[in-house]
Structure 1
Amino acid sequence: MSFAGITLDKLLLIAVLAALLLGPERLPALAEKLGALVRGLRDMATGAKDRMREEMGPEFDEVDWRKLDPRQYDPRRIVMQALQDDPAPKPDFAAAAAASSVATVSSLPKRHDGPMRFDDEAT
């Protein structure tokens, strides 16, 4: 049995050390508090799940929650897939320019003779 690298022998060692360090007087009270904490966390998780099911409706059961597990994302795999994908085709600027309408001289704004306007308060 292994949960996140903690094996049964490590759990037993932690329990023996806790019994020695905390003493037989405080150990039952602390074990009771730990049990209450675990029950509270479990109830909170169940309540959140029930609320999600209530708010999402029948779509909640259709969601593949394993697909959304963040532990499945491996940054190395994501980068390798991005590097292996074919690059997007380069745009053909010559064809785009030929297809667009060419501005004629008459459609350009008229040039005003004289000094250019300057706004003193602009900067």
Structure 2
Amino acid sequence: MIDISVEKVALLLIIAVLVLGPTKLPEYARKLGRLIRELRRMASNAQEKLREELGPEFEDIDWQKMDPRQYDPRRIIREALADEDPLPKPVTSIQTPLPATPPGRPAVRLAAGQKAPFDDEST
């Protein structure tokens, strides 16, 4: 959680002794101990409450798998490519689509090499 080295703790204790003095230091140490115990109790109560409200189906979830820091796109692509999905069946009969013609106009087939009509006024 908090990354405090031994040197930093010793420095904080020396500063506390100098600022508070030896007479008030035991009183503030007791208050700090009570505060830490209260914070631990609140954290454990919050965990219990969360477990109660989520129910038993959430107890066996592996939360490490859902950690976004574990996301590796190369691994995901490698696993996706390694999955062998069956290929779709080949099409045996091909149906020719109907030509798109405006309503009321019959479709006209063009001869080989004949250019399609072009409308100069169209946009």
TM-score with structure 1 setting the length: 0.50
C-alpha change, 1:45 and 1:25, in structure 2 (3 Å) is: same
Aligned residues: 85
Looking at structure 2, the residues matched to 62 and 47 of structure 1 have their Cα atoms a distance apart, in angstroms, of 20
Unaligned runs of 5+ in 1: 87-99, 108-123
- The alpha carbon displacement at 1:51 in A equals 0.9
2:41 aligns with 43
Deviation at 1:47, TM superposition (A): 0.9
1:101 and 1:24 mapped to 2: Cα distance?
97
Q: Identify the residue that residue 102 of structure 2 maps to in structure 1.
A: 105
**CA–CA separation in structure 1 for the residues paired with 2:35 and 2:66:** 27
Give the root-mean-square deviation of aligned CA atoms.
Answer: 3.5
Describe the superposition over 1:52-72 as per-residue Cα deviations: whole angstroms up to 9, x where unpaired. 111122223212234455xx7
Identical amino acids, percent of aligned pairs: 41
Counterpart-to-counterpart distance in 1, 2:41 and 2:66: 22
- Counterpart amino acid of residue 105 in structure 1: P
TM score, norm. by length of structure 2? 0.50
Of the two, which has the highest radius of gyration? 2
Structure 1 CA distance for aligned equivalents of residues 27 and 63 of structure 2: 37
Report what 1:7 is aligned to: 5
Task: Give the letter aligned to residue 27 of structure 2.
Answer: A
In structure 2, the partner of 1:20 is 18
Post-superposition, which runs of at least 4 consecutive aligned residues in structure 1 deviate over 4 A? 100-103
Structure 2 residues not aligned, in runs of 5+: 79-96, 105-123
